[in-house]
């Protein structure tokens, strides 16, 4: 659900959500969680107290509907917001924290470890409230420019994805990877020298898995040099095998490993059912364009 500095935005979302409840679209059988807001506290568009108040309003609606009463609710925000406002940890059913080493200008070689250091600190804090922490968003742009960001190259995006997935599998983390697809529509809303937001996808805007992502999971060892290309040494195959894997192993790895935005949309309804119910895709997406800018932890 979209939350910003305009109270009417949330009220429209709330009204649309009530309709979804009344018509049986939203139930505990098909929704695993709901985000009430996305980095609105970080953007200083609402206070922590206001964010919690909005959460409780949605909780009241859910409790009044037996089919939705058990849907867990949370607030999507960066890790530092939750650390600074432990009352938010106490209020949510689980903590959904966004982490982007990309926006901290962290060297790609240590980016996944940097993420985990920051994430672990929040997990420790949340444990005092007996709350689970999931990674609401993390990712790395494969193209575009932004002076405030780390280098956005295909090689870096692939390395972060691979390193993060490996770490997440080892640590048994629950996460949603940002994002499934490139979003070219964002270019119309961005400054000419700040275009990275359009290129966070594992897939192109046309739905094709990016070759370098495919190669990273095609039984290969990879050398990522931070440029727009990477040297891939394929074990047990040739270059054509790597390209063909888009429809095979890489798809399986992507689906299983990333819990990408397709799953994220189904799971959280953060930017699909709830957002679309109130605003059309264009207005909703324009509203959210700046949500990752300078989004450190």
Residue 226 lies in a domain: no
Does 72 lie in the same domain as 43? yes
**Overall average pLDDT of the 124-153 stretch:** 98
Q: What is the C-alpha to C-alpha distance for residues 141 and 102, in angstroms, rounded to an integer? A: 8
End residue of a domain, out of 160, 194, 221? 221
What is the per-residue pLDDT across 228-272, written as a single tens digit (0 to 9) for each?
A: 443 333 223 333 322 223 233 334 433 443 343 333 344 333 333
Could you tell me which residues come within 8 angstroms of residue 5 by beta carbon, excluding any fewer than 6 positions away? 40, 45, 46
Residue 154's domain comprises: 102-221
What is the per-residue pLDDT across 24-77, written as a single tens digit (0 to 9) for each?
A: 999 999 999 999 999 999 999 999 999 999 999 999 999 999 999 999 999 999
End residue of a domain, out of 195, 221, 247? 221
Band of pLDDT at residue 287, cut at 50, 70 and 90: very low
Residue 238 lies in a domain: no
Residue 57 lies in a domain: yes
So what's the pLDDT on residue 266?
A: 41
Residue 262 lies in a domain: no
Does 109 lie in the same domain as 80? no
**Model confidence at 112: pLDDT above 70:** yes
Locus of tokens 């070759």: 211
Length of the chain: 297
Does 215 lie in the same domain as 135? yes
Does 111 lie in the same domain as 9? no
Mean pLDDT, the chain, as a whole number?
A: 82
**Overall average pLDDT of the 269-287 stretch:** 35
Look at the chain and report how many structural domains it folds into: 2
Does 58 lie in the same domain as 154? no
Whether the full predicted model's pTM is greater than 0.85, yes or no, is no
């Amino acid at each position: 659900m979209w939350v910003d500095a305009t109270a009417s935005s949330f009220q429209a979302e709330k009204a649309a959500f009530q309709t979804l409840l009344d018509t049986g679209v939203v139930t505990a059988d098909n929704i695993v969680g709901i985000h009430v807001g996305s980095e609105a506290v970080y953007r200083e568009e609402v206070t922590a107290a206001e964010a919690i108040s909005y959460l409780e309003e949605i909780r009241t609606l859910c409790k009044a509907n037996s089919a939705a009463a058990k849907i867990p609710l949370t607030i999507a925000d960066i890790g530092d917001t939750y650390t600074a406002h432990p009352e938010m940890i106490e209020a949510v059913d689980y903590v959904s924290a966004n982490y982007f080493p990309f926006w901290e200008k962290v060297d790609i070689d240590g980016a996944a470890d940097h993420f985990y250091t920051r994430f672990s600190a929040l997990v420790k804090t949340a444990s005092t409230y007996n709350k689970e922490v999931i990674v609401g968003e993390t990712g790395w742009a494969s193209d575009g420019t932004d002076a405030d960001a780390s280098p956005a190259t295909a090689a870096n995006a692939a390395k972060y994805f691979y390193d993060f997935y490996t770490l997440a599998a080892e640590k048994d983390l629950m996460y949603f990877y940002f994002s499934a697809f490139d979003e070219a529509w964002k270019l119309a809303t961005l400054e000419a020298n700040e275009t990275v937001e359009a290129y966070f996808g594992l897939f192109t805007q046309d739905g094709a898995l990016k070759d370098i992502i495919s190669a990273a999971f095609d039984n290969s060892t990879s050398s990522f040099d931070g440029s727009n290309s990477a040297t891939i040494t394929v074990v047990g195959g040739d270059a054509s095998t790597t390209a063909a894997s888009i429809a095979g192993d890489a798809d399986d790895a992507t689906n299983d490993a990333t819990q990408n935005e397709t799953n994220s949309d189904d799971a959280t309804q953060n930017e699909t059912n709830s957002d679309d119910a109130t605003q059309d895709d264009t207005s909703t997406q324009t509203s959210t364009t700046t949500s990752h800018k300078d989004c450190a932890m």
